[in-house]
Amino acid sequence: MRIDLAANYGEERLPRYTSYPTAPHFSPAIGADTYARWLSELPGDASASLYLHVPFCREMCWYCGCHTQIVRRDGLIAAYQQTLCSEIAEVAETIGRRIKVEHIHFGGGTPTIMAPEAFAELMAAMRHAFFVLPSAEIAVEIDPRTLTAEMVEAMRLSGVNRASLGVQSFDPVVQRAINRVQSYEQTASVVDRLRRAGIMGLNFDLIYGLPHQTIASCLDTVRRSLELAPARFSVFGYAHVPSFKKHQRMINEAHLPDGLARHDQACAIANALKEAGYVQIGLDHFARPDDAMAVAFDQGTLRRNFQGYTTDQGEVLLGFGASAIGHLPQGYVQNDVQIGAYQHSITNGRLATAKGYRLTDDDRLRADIIERIMCEFGADLGDICARHGAEPEAMLASASRLKSLISDGVVKLDGDRLAVANDSRFLVRSVAAAFDAHLDPGKQLHSRAV
């Protein structure tokens, strides 16, 4: 553990680089007309991934950084589901053909808050509008506290084959401090029901850096999670940004661990998972050696998008729902964050694009470099620059932040090959940021680097 590096770099606010440029740089200059034109220009052989955002929960978890709202009336959820169906039809019509789909991801909020029949109808709408391949991965994010047997059956009949379960922590003191009380028994019961339904690809989401969290409580959560043997773990550092997420003000900042404590928690979790036989994937994922994600990491084909690390090789991501982000060869688009405004656009036959970003050649070059650093802890700058018609010397000269990282031993540079030192991999976001031409260190838009 490099405590000196954690102290020097750990407090810096940096993106997680699930895109480049990152969402704060999106502009309202990119709207519905631009998105429609980009959709119509998709190559004939293009395939796509679909992301559906369901921005509703029954109660607010105070750590949450997602776009979501609390609902008690199921009618609001039903109306939103119908809007999603309409948006799917509108996007498919704009593309002008039944494009192939290899990945579908339901995020939230709580996607399983929908009525089971509404979920099935939504899946049917996607299969009608797009050619969902028989081998497609269909993943759903789940709150184990509210999942019903009827929804599990609807997921099974709809072809869902992967589920991500929010666990965060099994420590009851931590759970009360973040307003998410979820017993081990609840989680174990959901795991059993999903497996009985044939949904075998299970992911657990854990968080460190939460109020009252300690190394001991983190390790106890890992131990109990391992008893349920998920295929993958996602381990995220809590991002405390109460200026953007007002409900986070319910968390007492005095109870949050500092940067060094967060680093120790992250290392303890990582070491425990690796000792249990999981392969560390990039910054924050762990997978069994035979899992598709571990295979992609080993083969150098791992990718990164708005869902984090992925095996998805597609260049087209179509986002549906309020705040959903899409990625096309031309750039990024994001729907209106406000649910009412989103629904108004779709109901009136218009795409709901509120902002976006048109990629430049330099953006594409830097995006490739940043993705390889985030996925492989290194990058062959000569190879990547050659594919983009650029010179690695010019790229290195533009990365002024890289000099201190090299002098501190975080990065090793062998000719044009860049590698993050093994004991400094927890600072991979700092290394990626060295190639970010849009980064404004003065703006507190992101979570801490550690």
Asked if residue 331 belongs to a domain, the reply is no
Structure-block tokens of residue 66: 């997602």
Write down the pTM of the prediction: 0.93
294 φ/ψ angles, rounded to the nearest 5 degrees:
-65, -35
- Domain range for 393 is 360-448
Domain tally for the chain?
2
Do the beta carbons of residue 370 and residue 435 sit within 8 Å? Answer: yes
Q: Are residues 219 and 303 in the same domain?
A: yes
Asked if residue 354 belongs to a domain, the reply is no
Residue 441: what pLDDT?
A: 66
Q: Are residues 315 and 396 in the same domain?
A: no
Q: Are residues 303 and 367 in the same domain?
A: no
Among 282, 298, 325, where does a domain finish?
Answer: 325
Q: Residue 136, Cα to own-chain centre: how many angstroms? A: 19
For 94-146, what is the HEC assignment?
HHCCCCEEEEEEEEECCHHHCCHHHHHHHHHHHHHHCEEEEEEEEEEEECCCC
Residue 10: what pLDDT?
A: 65
CATH number for the domain that contains residue 266: 3.80.30.20
Q: Are residues 286 and 384 in the same domain?
A: no
Among 272, 303, 325, where does a domain finish?
Answer: 325
Do the beta carbons of residue 191 and residue 164 sit within 8 Å? Answer: no
Residue 8: what pLDDT?
A: 75
Asked if residue 366 belongs to a domain, the reply is yes
Residue 67: what pLDDT?
A: 87
Asked if residue 183 belongs to a domain, the reply is yes
Residue 284: what pLDDT?
A: 92
Q: What is the CA radius of gyration of the chain?
A: 21
Asked if residue 290 belongs to a domain, the reply is yes
227 half-sphere exposure, CB direction, 13 A CA radius:
11
Asked if residue 349 belongs to a domain, the reply is no
Identify any residues that bridge with 69 across adjacent strands, giving them in sequence order. Answer: 56
Among 325, 341, 375, where does a domain finish?
Answer: 325
User: Tens place of pLDDT for every residue, the chain, 450 residues?
Assistant: 466 777 777 667 799 999 999 999 999 999 999 999 999 999 989 999 999 999 999 999 999 988 899 998 999 999 999 999 999 999 999 999 999 999 999 999 999 999 999 999 999 999 999 999 999 999 999 999 999 999 999 999 999 999 999 999 999 999 999 999 999 999 999 999 999 999 999 999 999 999 999 999 999 999 999 999 999 999 999 989 898 899 999 999 999 999 889 989 999 999 999 999 999 999 899 999 999 999 999 999 999 999 889 999 888 999 999 999 999 999 999 999 999 999 999 999 999 999 999 999 999 999 999 999 999 999 999 999 999 999 999 999 999 889 999 999 999 999 999 999 998 998 999 999 999 999 976 555 555 555
For the chain, what is the HEC assignment?
CCHHHHHHHCCCEECCCCCCCCHHHCECCCCHHHHHHHHHCCCCCCEEEEEEEECEECCCCCCCCCCCEECCCHHHHHHHHHHHHHHHHHHHHHHCCCCEEEEEEEEECCHHHCCHHHHHHHHHHHHHHCEEEEEEEEEEEECCCCCCHHHHHHHHHCCCCEEEEEEECCCHHHHHHCCCCCCHHHHHHHHHHHHHCCCCEEEEEEEECCCCCCHHHHHHHHHHHHCCCCCEEEEEECCCCCCCCHHHHHCCHHHCCCHHHHHHHHHHHHHHHHHCCCEEECCCEEECCCCHHHHHHHHCCCEEECCEEECCCCCCEEEECCCCEEEECCEEEEECCCHHHHHHHHHCCCCCEEEEEECCHHHHHHHHHHHHHHHHCEEEHHHHHHHCCCCHHHHHHHCCCHHHHHHCCCEEEECCEEEECHHHHHHHHHHHHCCCCCCCCCCCCCEECC
Q: Are residues 309 and 388 in the same domain?
A: no
Q: Are residues 236 and 380 in the same domain?
A: no
**How many other C-beta atoms lie within 10 A of the C-beta of residue 149?**
10
Give the whole-angstrom CA distance, residue 276 versus residue 257. Answer: 26
Residue whose tokens read 């899992």: 291
Asked if residue 334 belongs to a domain, the reply is no
Q: Are residues 119 and 242 in the same domain?
A: yes
Q: Are residues 287 and 384 in the same domain?
A: no
Q: Are residues 249 and 160 in the same domain?
A: yes
Q: Are residues 204 and 286 in the same domain?
A: yes
CATH number for the domain that contains residue 403: 1.10.10.920
Asked if residue 347 belongs to a domain, the reply is no
Q: Are residues 194 and 313 in the same domain?
A: yes
Residue 377: what pLDDT?
A: 95
Give the whole-angstrom CA distance, residue 30 versus residue 315. Answer: 19
Q: Are residues 265 and 377 in the same domain?
A: no
